[in-house]
Structure 1
């Protein structure tokens, strides 16, 4: 019997696509990911743009743009703890909650060879995304590490 991952399952054990302070070399990578992953590989998030935030970025839906980041796979036995820790960090309280700063949704990230991988990604909540599109500062090239 095979297992099917349903996108609406908020606990499905998908890898994470990270694009800001959780990337290798950034402060939250050491605090949240060190020792909890088995792989970290370059990837892109199609149809998304990156905006400046207060010390961290926000990704928002944007057809034709790409956000640069990494695909993170949790170590065996670390997934539940990592998922809970990242949800707290990203101020995500669950699907559709009005207090969410980010919404965690399943999206296809793309490896450098073009292979799509279903992953959790934290996107700016809808109201915040609207404000960012209207008056935010987009990060050219969608790469948090090259913003300076």
Structure 2
């Protein structure tokens, strides 16, 4: 599937998703400590996969909820990436660990709008299940909303989380172009439990290679591969099955594929985001499928085989 470009920033990137998005409030806090604000060099939007915003107890005992993260397959959190110097990390760590807070720096993988997957640090108390909701102060959520608006980030997830509601998933679509397509051998994993809502022909900018019994692709700007945009019900359950099929266990090279976001061009003329499974390793030792069409490629191979056997 699409070869992943992982860029190692030597842990220089910080992913902000809460009150640290608010420049005015950050400046005020650092000034009160006699420190310079380290969050001055923004380097674009980031999307943190398989995480969702929530409000829970941060360990200070003040009874007010603090924005946090918990695991939710198929969801993502929008935030902003910042480059920090070594001294900047010391200053930020002082802010995030002060006042009895239990937040700790955690290494995560974040999607950039360019398609890159980069390593970054996030401060959170990441939990597997949905934590107990603790209502935040209105002034606190207003600070976060102001920061989201300043960077043009979505506020829908925060609006739901601050009320203790379960935010809707950002998308409910998967792009497939090999054995998961309609009529192919693994399509049943998508269709199981009447999960498929609609199937539309679509394309993604990439090139395709033949790995034997299934295709793989690598991201390019000048070519496209053909496939299907599938809208599903119960996305979390569907992705759990597909993660198992594709050998996705995280954004490292021990995974066979990585699940990332791609901009999909639909035959109706629209474009939308969808989950797609991308090859984690190198594609260079495999034959290129110039047409970008897995079905057509298999038909051509079968025709050649038939001619050879007939001859």
TM-score, length-scaled by structure 2 = 0.41
Shift of 1:9: 2.3
Structure 2's unaligned 5+ residue stretches are 1-45, 51-73, 76-168, 301-311
Shift of 1:66: 0.3
> Which of 174, 178, 182 matches 1:20?
178
Q: Report if the CA contact (8 A) 2:196-2:232 is conserved.
A: yes
Write the distance in 2 (CA, Å) between the matches of 1:32 and 1:43: 17
Structure 1's unaligned 5+ residue stretches are 1-5
Aligned-pair Cα RMSD in Å = 1.5
Write the distance in 2 (CA, Å) between the matches of 1:145 and 1:7: 33
> Which of 218, 225, 235 matches 1:60?
218
1:100 matches 2:255: yes
Cα deviation 1:95-125 (Å, max 9, x = unaligned) = x222111111111000113311100011111
- Mark the structure with the bigger radius of gyration: 2
> Which of 232, 236, 244 matches 1:88?
244
Q: Report if the CA contact (8 A) 1:22-1:33 is conserved.
A: no
The answer for the alignment partner of 1:36 in structure 2 is 195
Shift of 1:33: 2.4
TM-score, length-scaled by structure 1 = 0.83
* Greater relative contact order (Cα < 8 A, sep 6+): 1
Cα deviation 1:35-83 (Å, max 9, x = unaligned) = 211011110002x1111013111111122110100001112xx221101
1:111 matches 2:266: yes
Q: Report if the CA contact (8 A) 2:248-2:255 is conserved.
A: yes
